[in-house]
Homo-oligomer: A and B are copies of this chain.
Amino acid sequence: MNKINILLAEDQTMLLNALATILDLEDNLHVVQSCANGKQAFDYIQSGESERVDIVLTDIEMPDMTGLELAKQLFESKVPCKTIILTTFARSGYLRRAMDSGVKGYLLKDSPSQDLIDAIQKVHQGGTAIAPELMVESWMEKDPLSDKERHALRLAKDGLSTEDIAKKLFLSTGTVRNYLSSASSKLNAKNRIEAARIAHQNGWL
């Protein structure tokens, strides 16, 4: 009988191990590889020496290479496997980027593990599986931020001063303040910190 071959990418070792165990218990699933980040996963699949991989199941926020980057690389390299995202965050920006990278499933860690098993079967048969929390249309706002605004906000979030941000981005302090100001107004925030929070919640950072 032909099992569905799965590769896991998840930086939380405890969850990685536990998932590998419970998926392997299913009699038509087989975990071929467990990885701690996107890079490891991509290298394994690219190496060619690997077993065939049908489904890549990956977290988003990981060191070295995120799950979204991994999905994009696999998509662009036309690797014949299907990607399912498994993440804590119901952020519209993440889902949008995932869909743009040809992802077939997007599940939340909040859902029961049976949902995951169902989703794997469904995706393998050519379907898609999106967590219901994310199906609401109104969620889908586009990221209004420019690249510079995004970078500046990311640094502001950690408490860096205008001057420190300017140094890191090789810009004048005035320009940095202009970017942060326009970011705040785009997001209807009262200050840079609230702006950073809003952007982060939407998956735009």
Copies of this chain, whole number: 2
Q: Do B21 and A193 touch (CB < 8 A)?
A: no
A50 at the interface (CB under 8 A from B): no
A172 at the interface (CB under 8 A from B): no
Closest to A23 in B: B18
Contact with B along A11-33 (1 / 0, CB 8 A): 11111011101100100000000
DSSP majority for the A interface?
A: helix
Q: Do B113 and A195 touch (CB < 8 A)?
A: no
Which of B22, B156, B192, B194 interacts with A158 by CB under 8 Å? B194
A196 at the interface (CB under 8 A from B): yes
**In the complex, what residues of B have CB within 8 A of residue A19's CB?**
14, 18
Q: In the assembled complex, how far is the CB of residue A168 from the closest CB belonging to chain B, in whole angstroms? A: 15
Closest to A156 in B: B193
Interface size on A, residues (CB 8 A): 36
Closest to A111 in B: B13
Q: Do B15 and A14 touch (CB < 8 A)?
A: yes
**In the complex, what residues of B have CB within 8 A of residue A22's CB?**
17-18, 21-22
Interface residues of A in 152-172 (CB under 8 A from B): 156-161
A124 at the interface (CB under 8 A from B): no
**In the complex, what residues of B have CB within 8 A of residue A12's CB?**
88, 109-110
Q: A14-B15, A159-B190 are in contact. List 20 more A-B contacts (CB 8 A).
A: A12-B88, A14-B86, A14-B112, A14-B116, A15-B15, A17-B112, A18-B18, A18-B19, A18-B21, A18-B113, A21-B21, A21-B22, A21-B25, A156-B193, A158-B194, A158-B197, A159-B194, A159-B195, A159-B197, A193-B193
A-B pairs, top 4 by smallest CB distance, nearest first, are A159-B194, A159-B193, A18-B18, A17-B113
